[in-house]
Structure formats: structure tokens, C-alpha cells
Structure 1
Amino acid sequence: MYVEGLLSSLTRVKKARSLRAASWDTTGRNNDAWNIEPNETRVLADIKGPGCINHIWMTQRDGYRNVLLRAFWDDEEHPSVLCPLGDFFGLGNEIVNSYDSLLFSASTAGNNQFNTGCALNCYVQMPFNKSARIELVNEGDEMHRQYFYIDYELYEQPLDDEVAYFHTQFRRENPCDGWGHEIRVNTPEANIVNAERLAWDNNYLILEAEGRGHYIGCNLSITNFQGTWWGEGDDMIWVDGYKWPPDLHGTGSEDYLNQAWGMQPNAFRHNGSSIYEPDTDGYQTSYVFHLENPVRFEKEIRATIEHGHGNHLRNETSSVAYWYQLEPHKPFGILPVQQRKPVLRGEDGGWLINETAQTQQAEPTLNDEMKQLKAQWAEKQKTEA
């Protein structure tokens, strides 16, 4: 018996052809980047299968939310990967920072800065049978300059029917529809009951997909308007439809991200923070990959997390979900560029809120407990004043 392991494929010779699509200057000179004009879509790689993309390297000075990365497998009409460039590689809110994980890494001389040069790497396996088409879409107002490698291999025989295809989904709520943003986390007034359909309907939605596959993790970006601890939101994941309790129910945001007692300034193989809030004056991006324990689904999946316990906070939240599934997938879209841009601080340190750039969702309907706890908090503030 031959024992399979993480690196076991390196011990066997494989019948495959190794190739690369890259931005190199085909004239032999050193102009090794592609210019992508505003509103232009460029095809970085158009590959005939069967094969598998094994590595993507990119570097650029900006465009982390303006530019979209798209991937289409097997001549499909709707992309399986649709994500802002920076967020795909684990960097939210147009901020760059050096970090390393099993699936993604980034390296920059300008840590914790907006829109500066950064090298990005992806080591996710992306198999395909008929074709793979990788595109960049420049939805910004300025020309975008992109360096890239896309390393892949081709096979003589088609992939079997059980090989799943890689997908990503970007989501954002700016702000989340919290019912009591004034209430600090971990106070009695925040300790509300959040269960059943109330949780299903109001939790922040990380992933909604249909088909057969497995969810392998996400990154989660927060702009902390409230200013204290943004966590305590339980993860709740429903597999193949609604039921209570959900198939997987967690105990807090940092717990789902595989840390505890808040978040720490580290980036490990399976979990950590690519952007750490104390270094950025209010911005956080953290990630978790459940590669040994993927969440498997036969019909559909709904992966969610509370924004503050019981969804009381109104911070800005965005995310990228990563999963594999058999095609076809349920088509999904993405917010327009003006609704993807980060919320910045003004010279006085306050948040510059642009209402036209906010995502649209209904105001939360307050139940009796929410009303009671908000009144209790307001009375407490009067007493402490």
C-alpha cells in the first residue's frame, strides 16, 4: 500500500506537460507587464484541457478593489471565480501586507499601506477538463499595469467525473444591518437570543451555493466603525437546507478563525490575519482554511457568521468564500466598483461615510428583546454619564 500525503505526488513520476502563461515581453525587451485600460477586459490565459492550474503569481501597484479576477472552466457562461484582485489573495480594503499561508501569500515593502506594490501568490489547485480562461477586468478610472505568471499542466486523459471545480464568491455589507451598534460587545445588553430563522435571515452571509461540493474556507474583512471588539459572532453553516440547529454552529468570530481571546498578529498555514487591526487603525482581514475538514454538501450550502453577538453591530464587513463543486454552479454576481471601495478616515480621524457607496439592505426589524436591551443600554449610559 502506498500512503497518500500532502507531498506524496512529488514521489511519483506523472505524465503531464508543464506550461506557463505570463506577461513577459515577447519582443525580448524588459517591458514585462500588460497595460489594461479602464473598462477593458484582458484574457491572461486561454487554455485547452484537460489540465490543472497549480500556481498564480501577480504583482501590481494598485487596483486591489477596482480590478476583478475572473475564471471560467470548460466554456461555461458564468464565471466560477469572480473576485476583486486583492481580496482573492487574502488582502481586504485595498491594503497590502506581507503574510504567508498554505493557499495564499503576499510580500511587500509597504506593509499596512493602501494601494502600493505587492507580490501575490495563489497555490490553490484549479482543475479543468475542456478549457480554462483567466481574465482581469479593469473597472477603475485609470490604466492598470499587471505582471503575472499562471503555471499549469496538461494531461493526456480527461479528468474523471468526480473532480470538482474551484470557485470563489465575494460579498460585502457596508454597513451590516445591526440592531444595536451603540452597545458594546460582551455586555449584558448584547447578550440577545439569536436562533432559528432570526439567525438564518440576519447573519452575515459568507457563501450561498447550490450543487454538490465542499466549502474549504474564507477570508473576512472588517472596518471597525464601532471601535471596540468587532467579534463574538458565531459561525453557523447550514448544509442542504434549513434546520435548527444548523449542521455546524460555532462559538465566536475568533473561534471560527481558529484563534481565541481576540485576534493575534500572526499568519499561520491554516488561519490567521493578513491585515491586523492595531496596525491599520481599524481595518482587519483574517482567514481560515478547513482543508482537512471541508464542509461537504450534496444540494446546497449557506455559510454565515453573526456581526457581533446576535447581529447587533453595524461595522462594514466583506468576505471571500472558497469552495469546490461539480458544475454547473448557481450563477452569482458582484457589487459595482463604487460599492466595493474601502471606507476611509478623514484628517480628523473620523470615518468618511459616503451613503451613495453603501450597500442597500433593509433596516432591521426590532423584536421586543432588542427594544428592551437598547432601552436598558441607553439608561445605563445616562447613569454612567
Structure 2
Amino acid sequence: MSLLNDIHKIKDGIRTKRVSSYDRTGGNQDYVTIPAGETAVLADIPGAGIIKHIWITVNTLDKMIRRNAVLRMYWDGETEPSVEAPLGDFFGQGWGEEYNFISLPLAAAPAKGKALNCYFPMPFGSGARITLQNESDEPIRSFYYYIDYEEHREMPDSMGRFHAWWNRELTEVHPDAGENEWSILAPEGKNPSDANNYLFADIEGKGHFVGVNYFVENPGPMWYGEGDDMWLVDGEDWPGSLHGTGTEDFFNSSWCPNEVYMHPYFGYARVPDKLGWMGRTHCYRFMFEEPVYFDKSLRASIEHGHDNNLTLDLSTVSYWYQVEPHKPFPAFPAKEKRQNMPEISIPDVHLWRHEWRQALGGGTRLWGNERKEKPADDTE
């Protein structure tokens, strides 16, 4: 179906409007300032309508403002936000970074990803409110934005409300098996459950899931993506009606990719340039052709390594539409809980090598692929 199919149709009862940061005096200071610790109301729109486009760019001394500023959206007078995420993560920018990102509903445009764009349609029947909380210690010296929307006479009940939820977890491994990916340490285990997976959706109500931005920081060089995606719809038991075969498979790629690739629906907007897959990778998938429908609930998760055997810093923003009311999100993590993990450096890897050398007796010509000899089997 072409995106231009309806562009020729003349419609009644719709008016295009915009809320923006333009200089009300007629001057060129077309921005607002947001002091440290304060929350700005970007839009407070009455009546019915659909937000069609949001554009934002930010100027501040805080290099982590994209994690330290929190975007929230409320529909129809609700008190619990339907959208709650760090500013950067919502627009597909992980770790407070700035980099170019291209997809159909979200984009970070030049210069070098500084222009944040959203094209998710966001219907509302009796008001829309959008806020930005500056939790930085620095003021946002200039915050430029457009919020383009349609004003409608009314909004049909069939129009779901847009939702987005940010989650983050430093994942744990099995204490007895360690980080046993690819069976390097022992035979691999089995995971007949989603109980220990990384959770990226926990929804109650009726609606459909349309996409996820997935940000993984890997402290080691091992491939992070043997984990299966698992979806339990309307309270069904494991393995559920949708069960995947690997992380890169869910993101529509294959064979442990480590290259930038951006399709309108899926891709890799950021990949590491280190040893193996060590470092930060941003994967995304938007399921506009195959949304996941649910009538009562949806629990969506993914393994962090096969059988959840890798320590990873995982964060996600999930996007869906549903009938209100929605299940309130968990308490939003404090700013201190949203900061990046320390970067694994070349000296860190050298220290690992030193410990490995000592474990093998401190030999003076150890190359790096030697293994401890297994104890002899003396049973007869």
C-alpha cells in the first residue's frame, strides 16, 4: 500500500495546526529555555485531534541531556502518562548520544542526529498534553520544537491511543554456569520459560504492538544476540503463539551482523568498532505490516544470550496503540539510574589477559588461546 494513496482525497472537518517555540515578539529567538530541575509544558491541546509530527532540537552544556530529560505524553485528561521515556531514547538515540538514524516513524537527522523527528500518529479525543522534564544540573539554554497536529470535530472510539515505555536492566547470568555463550564454558543449557528474559512490554488492555528500539551495551566481545524473542498474548502459557529464533532474526537480519544498515522498518543505526561485538549496538524494528494484536494483555521479552547467559546493559523503548485505560508504568528510574555504564577499555582487556595468564601458571610465552588441561580420568 502506497503512503500516497489518500493524499488526493479532500477531507471535511479537519484543520491543521501547530504548537511551536517560535518567538512571540516576532524576533528570531525561536526557542524556550528550561531551567535545571523544571518541567516545561510543550503542548496543551484541547478537544479532539491527531498529532502527526514532532520535531525537536536541543542546546545545553549537559552532554547527557538526551537521557537526563524525560518526555511524557498524556491523552484525554489522564493523570498517568501514556508515553514516558528519556528524550533521546524515545527518538531512537541511545546512551545520550547523537548519531544519524533513519526509519519510517522516527529519525535523527543532520547535523549528526541533532534533529529529532517523530511521525507516529497520536490520536486524542478530549485533549493532549506533552511535557519535558529537565532533570539535568544544567539548564536547557535553547529548546526548539514543532508539534504539528490535526484538529478534528470528534475522535472515533476505534482510534487507539499511542503509548511508549522505556525500560532498562543490567542483566544477570546463572551463577553456576557463568557467561556460557556458544557453549564455550560448558554444554549450553535450556530455557523453557520467559521468567528470566529481558522484559520490553508488559501491557494490559486491548490493542496492538508496533515496534521497539533496542539498545544493547556489551561489556565483552562475545556475540550478544543468541536470545529468542518471546510473546505471550492474552495470558497464554510459554512458549506462546509467537516465539523467535535469535535476536538478529527478530530484527530481520542474520548471522551476527555488525554493520550499520537502516531500512524504514528495521535495522542497525549504531554498531561498535571494537573487539568482536564489544560496545554499543542500536537495533530497531517497526511492525507496521505485522503488528502483534492483543485483546487482554501482552508480555513481550527477549533472552540476553541463549538461556539468559550474558551480562548486558539493555534498554528499550516499546511503541504500541491500545484502548484506555492503560496499566500504569513502573516508577520511572531516577536520573542516577539512567546513566551509562563505564566503558570497557583496552587496559581492561589487558588486565583480563593478565588474570588469565596467572590462571595458567604465569607462563612467559602464553599466546592467548591456551586452555587448562582437564584433570585425568582415573576411574577404571
TM bucket normalised to smaller:
0.7 to 0.9
Output the amino acid matched with 1:235.
D
C-alpha distance in 1, partners of 2:347/2:89? Answer: 25
Q: How many residues align?
A: 342
User: Which position in structure 1 is the counterpart of 2:244?
Assistant: 250
Q: Closer, same or farther in 2 for the Cα pair 1:9/1:189, shift >3 Å?
A: farther
After TM superposition, give the deviation of residue 253 of structure 1 in Å: 0.3
Aligned to 1:35: 33
State which of 63, 66, 69 in structure 1 corresponds to 2:68.
66
* 1:327 counterpart residue number: 324
Corresponding residue for 1:276? 271
Structure 1 residue 49: Cα displacement: 2.2
- Verify the 8 A CA contact 1:226 1:313 in the aligned structure 2: no
How much does 1:344 deviate?
3.1
1:133 paired residue number: 129
DSSP-derived class of the 1:39 partner: coil
Deviation at 1:262, TM superposition (A): 1.6
- 2:261 aligned residue (256, 259, 266): 266
Q: How does 1:181-330 map to 2 (within 5 A)?
A: 181-185=178-182, 187=184, 189=186, 191-195=188-192, 199-263=193-257, 264-278=259-273, 282-330=279-327
Distance 2:180 2:188 in 1: 10
CA distance 1:272–1:347, shift in 2 (3 Å): closer
- Judged with a 3 Å threshold, the aligned counterparts in structure 2 of structure 1 residues 8 and 143 are, in CA distance, closer, same or farther, namely same
Which sits farther off after the overlay, 96-105 or 77-86?
96-105
After superposition, what is the alpha-carbon deviation per residue over 1:283-338, rounded to whole angstroms, capped at 9, x for unaligned?
Answer: 11110011111000011000000000110001111001100000000000321111
Please state how far the C-alpha of 1:250 moved relative to its aligned partner.
Answer: 0.2
In the TM superposition, residue 6 of structure 1 has moved relative to its aligned partner by 3.1
**Preserved contact between residue 205 and residue 322 of structure 2 (Cα < 8 Å):** yes
Task: Give the C-alpha shift of residue 201 in structure 1.
Answer: 1.2
| Aligned counterpart, 2:155 | 159
Q: Give, in angstroms, the shift of residue 345 of structure 1.
A: 2.2
1:141-180 residue pairs with structure 2 within 5 A?
Answer: 141-144=137-140, 145-156=142-153, 158-173=154-169, 175-179=170-174, 180=177
CA distance in 2, matches of 1:186, 1:165: 44
AA partner of residue 119 (structure 1): A
Counterpart amino acid of residue 95 in structure 1:
E
Give 3-state SS (helix, strand or coil) of 1:262's partner: coil
The residue type equivalent to 1:320 in the other structure is: V
Counterpart CA distance in 1 for 2:318 and 2:227 is 17
SS at match of 1:322: strand
Retained in 2: the 8 A contact 1:185–1:230? Answer: no
Deviation larger for 202-211 or 15-24? 15-24
Within 5 Å, which residues of 2 pair with 1:100-119? 100-110=102-112, 118-119=114-115
Q: Give ranges in structure 1 of 5+ residues lacking alignment.
A: 112-117, 352-379
- TM superposition outliers: structure 1 runs of 4+ over 3 Å: 108-111, 184-190, 346-351
* Partner SS, residue 30 of structure 1: coil
Give the conservation status (yes or no) of the 8 Å contact 2:251–2:283. Answer: yes
Name the amino acid aligned to 1:79. P
* Aligned residues of 1:181 and 1:314 also touching (Cα < 8 A): no
Counterpart contact for 1:204–1:306, Cα < 8 Å: yes
Percent of aligned pairs sharing the same letter: 41
Corresponding residue SS for 1:51: strand
Structure 2 Cα separation of the partners of residues 150 and 181 of structure 1: 48
Q: Secondary structure at the match of 1:93?
A: helix
Question: Partners in 1 of 2:46 and 2:227 — Cα distance?
Answer: 44
Question: What residue ranges of structure 2 are gaps of 5+ in the alignment?
Answer: 350-369, 375-380
For residues 42-69 of structure 1, the C-alpha deviation after alignment (integer angstroms, 9 at most, x for no partner) is: 1001101210000000111451100001
Normalised to the residue count of structure 2, the TM-score between the two structures is 0.85
Q: State the Cα distance separating 1:349 from its structure 2 match.
A: 5.4
**2:94 counterpart of 1:99:** no
The AA in structure 2 aligned to 1:219 is N
The 5 Å alignment of 1:10-21 reads 10-15=7-12, 16-21=14-19
User: 3-state DSSP class of the match of 1:8?
Assistant: coil
TM-score (norm 1): 0.84
- Distance in 1 (CA, whole Å) between partners of 2:189 and 2:264 is 34
Contact 1:91 1:275 in 2 (8 A): no
Structure 1 residue matching 2:186: 3-state secondary structure: helix
Structure 1 residues 149 and 191 mapped into 2: Cα distance closer, same or farther (>3 Å)?
Answer: same
Instruction: Work out whether residues 45 and 129 of structure 2, in 8 Å CA contact, stay in contact via their aligned partners in 1.
Output: yes
